């Protein structure tokens, strides 16, 4: 029998070496760190050009800007929402410094955080279309950067991260909501920022878990501080303080943190991973996400709390330190009225649709329409802003999710599950 001798493979030992606990639980993100920032920044710059180009056009109040632009302007002047005179929109468009205020405070159906963000732009640029659209455009642009970075972290690919951000940059619905002074873009921004904080915490805490297990420990595993979750709690509190729909993300992200913590401890070989998660991490996670979120939520009401005259506020104590305690029962009653308003809202709307209609884009929303004369060279011209997602992206995403779910369920391919649930790490 002929025998062939091969030179020894000096890299065999290095390649066959099992990964260390840190490499297993928190593997480094491959690729050039410089491109990991430069690529997302270039995509973000592209998104910013789309969002800020001719931002003041149309020079008009678009859709629900009629509520939020004036409410934001009132927050700057009074600290709470104020009633306005009739035809205030036209008055404000003609003269941004005009006195548009009527009598008394205005009852509002949404918390003030998103309107405070709109007010930042009005504080810098005045009560103009560019002023009240500046912060939505900035939030929509920064959301692209956050998505690029978090997708890169989750997939381990700068190319995929930039692709995810690029899709958000060119999506029709994200584009429209980033160029109008509505609240939805801020909910999206703060939810995405909160998720990014949780993903960063997951990777950091898994590295800490591996390091501390190397020194031994109990059957429950070590205690981990999870500092990034405090930032996530602030972000989720801001989302809820923009619209109450943020509460659903608090619940969903709370469950995700429990699953991630349990998965990390089980993958690390902790003997009692579930007990360790529930005893050592879940109570702190509740405090960091829920309690920090509640404090953040209340802080956005500071104008109503500390300044007298807001709807249902009444007179304020002469002692500023006592005002928060005095205001909380009245703020509770205010929220009861807000809840009654939302639960009792049964009026039909031309653009009414149900959540299961949204992914298929069944009912777009007309934000603005007019027929300018002599601007297009034709006898009749039309100009419209339509709030609708890009069908190729939305419908393609639905097909991709179904395919990934089928592959995961039928073939048990973990890579398909990772695509559905967005987890690259072990566990």
Q: Are 337 and 312 in contact (CB under 8 A)?
A: yes
* Three-state secondary structure call for residue 96: coil
Torsion angle, alpha carbons of 221, 226, 229, 230, to 10: 130
Which pair of tokens denotes residue 166? 């690029």
Percent of the chain with pLDDT over 70: 91
Query: Before 354, cis peptide (omega within 30)?
Result: no
Asked if pLDDT for residue 312 goes beyond 70, the answer is: yes
Phi, psi of 217 (to 5 degrees): 160, 180
| pLDDT score recorded for residue 338 | 94
| pLDDT score recorded for residue 311 | 94
Angle at Cα 109 formed by Cα 104 and Cα 110, nearest 5°? 110
How many CA atoms within 13 Å lie on the side-chain side of 191? 19
**Mean pLDDT over residues 373-394, rounded?**
86
How is residue 291 annotated by DSSP? I
Q: Which residue has the tokens 């003997």?
A: 271
The pTM of this model reads 0.90
Which pair of tokens denotes residue 48? 């910013």
pLDDT tens track for 216-257? 677 888 999 999 999 999 999 999 999 999 999 999 999 999
Taking Cα atoms as reference points, which of 351, 164, 384 lies closest to residue 174? 164
Asked if pLDDT for residue 89 goes beyond 90, the answer is: yes
Which pair of tokens denotes residue 338? 């807000």
Residues 21 and 222: their CA atoms lie apart, in Å, by 14
pLDDT tens track for 340-350? 998 887 777 77
Asked if pLDDT for residue 259 goes beyond 90, the answer is: yes
Q: Are 148 and 111 in contact (CB under 8 A)?
A: no
How does the average pLDDT of the chain come out, rounded?
Answer: 89
Burial class (CB in 10 A: 0-12, 13-18, 19+), 194: buried
Contacts of 39 (CB under 8 A, 6+ apart): 148, 158, 159, 161, 162
Asked if pLDDT for residue 11 goes beyond 70, the answer is: no
Burial class (CB in 10 A: 0-12, 13-18, 19+), 107: middle
Which pair of tokens denotes residue 120? 């930042």
Residues 181 and 225: their CA atoms lie apart, in Å, by 38
| pLDDT score recorded for residue 15 | 52
In this prediction, residue 418 has a pLDDT band, given cuts at 50, 70 and 90, of: low
Residues 230 and 252: their CA atoms lie apart, in Å, by 16
Residues 230 and 237: their CA atoms lie apart, in Å, by 10
pLDDT tens track for 13-55? 455 566 776 777 778 888 888 999 999 999 999 999 999 999 9
**Mean pLDDT over residues 274-286, rounded?**
94
pLDDT tens track for 163-192? 999 999 999 999 999 999 999 999 999 999
């Amino acid at each position: 029998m002929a025998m062939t001798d091969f030179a020894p493979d000096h890299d065999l030992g290095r390649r066959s070496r099992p990964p260390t606990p840190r490499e297993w639980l928190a593997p480094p993100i491959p690729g050039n760190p410089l491109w990991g920032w430069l690529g997302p920044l270039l995509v973000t710059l592209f998104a910013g050009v789309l969002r800020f180009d001719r931002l003041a056009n149309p020079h008009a109040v678009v859709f629900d800007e009629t509520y939020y632009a004036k409410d934001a302007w009132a927050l700057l002047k009074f600290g709470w929402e104020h009633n306005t005179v009739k035809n205030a929109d036209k008055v404000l468009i003609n003269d941004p410094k005009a006195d548009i205020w009527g009598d008394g405070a205005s009852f509002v159906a949404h918390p003030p955080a998103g309107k405070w963000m709109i007010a930042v732009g009005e504080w810098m640029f005045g009560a103009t279309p560019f002023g009240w659209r500046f912060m939505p455009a900035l939030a929509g642009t920064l959301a692209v950067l956050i998505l690029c970075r978090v997708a890169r972290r989750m997939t381990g690919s700068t190319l995929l991260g930039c692709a995810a951000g690029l899709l958000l940059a060119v999506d029709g619905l994200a584009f429209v909501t980033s160029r109008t002074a509505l609240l939805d873009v801020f909910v999206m921004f703060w939810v995405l920022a909160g998720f990014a904080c949780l993903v960063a915490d997951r990777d950091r805490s898994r590295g800490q878990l591996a390091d501390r297990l190397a020194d031994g420990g109990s059957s429950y595993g070590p205690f981990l501080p999870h500092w990034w979750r405090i930032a996530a709690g602030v972000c989720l509190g801001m989302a809820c303080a923009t619209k109450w729909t943020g509460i659903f993300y608090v619940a969903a992200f709370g469950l995700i943190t429990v699953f991630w913590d349990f998965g990390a401890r089980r993958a690390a070989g902790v003997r009692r991973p579930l007990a360790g998660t529930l005893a050592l991490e879940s109570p702190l996670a509740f405090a960091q996400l829920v309690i920090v979120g509640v404090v953040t939520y209340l802080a956005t009401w500071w104008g109503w709390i500390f300044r007298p005259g807001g709807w249902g506020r009444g007179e304020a104590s002469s002692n500023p330190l006592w005002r928060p305690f005095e205001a909380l029962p009245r703020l509770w009653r205010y929220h009861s009225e807000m809840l009654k308003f939302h639960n009792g809202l049964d009026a039909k709307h031309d653009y009414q649709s149900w959540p299961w209609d949204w992914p298929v884009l069944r009912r777009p929303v007309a934000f603005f329409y007019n027929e300018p004369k002599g601007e297009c060279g034709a006898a009749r011209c039309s100009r419209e802003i339509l709030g609708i997602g890009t069908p190729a992206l939305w419908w393609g995403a639905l097909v991709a999710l179904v395919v990934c779910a089928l592959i995961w369920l039928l073939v048990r391919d973990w890579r398909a599950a990772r695509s559905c649930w967005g987890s690259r790490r072990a566990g």
